Amino acid sequence: MIYLIGGAPRTGKSLLAQKIVATHPMSSLSCDFLYDLTQVKNINNFAEADLITKGTLFYPTLQELLINVSRRSENCVIDGEVILPQFIPELATKYNIKSCFIGLPVTNLDTILTHGGYFNWPKWKLENGLATEINDLAEQTINKSLIIKTEAQKYNLPYFDLTENYNLGIKLAIKSLLS
């Protein structure tokens, strides 16, 4: 089974993947890391590109990744903001996948710093005097979470709002993927 975890930036996709791997040993890959290594990043203003554009441009790479993972590994968890709900129905016809999406449609910088995921770069930036680089991070997370939520609902895919109870939301996402 290939487990795909998508969602807005800084919502805990990698953290969710780590929790799954900790209890069910398997391979784990981050698409966020992979798209930094691909030619996709060479488009103009990739850092400012919207979520849908990034995911659409990354989709051919994701397809190739799934081909290779499905041939080499029995189980694998793959996370990234470039995993979009719109592609899951097609991918599910070709690969043995389960997916879920997570978001924080109501958040603030403190919440993001508390649940910053595997490498909490906002916290790192604050500690290194780069606070201006994260001024609008909560707003971006909110806006992108709302896009992901709408898209997940459109394709009838599991979406977990982590706003009210972050840890419970993560547990429910794990249960959804592993059941």
User: What is the tens place of the pLDDT at every residue in 80-106?
Assistant: 999 999 999 999 999 999 999 999 998
Q: For tokens 């488009």, name the residue.
A: 43
Q: What is the pTM of this model?
A: 0.87
Beta bridge partners of 159: 101
pLDDT band at 162 (very low <50, low <70, confident <90, very high): very high
What residue spans define the domains of the chain? 2-178
- Sheet order of strands, 159-161 included: 27-30, 76-79, 2-7, 97-103, 159-161
Greater model confidence, 35 or 116: 35
Give the domain 2-178 fold.
Answer: Rossmann fold (3.40.50)
C-alpha span between 118 and 81 (Å, rounded): 14
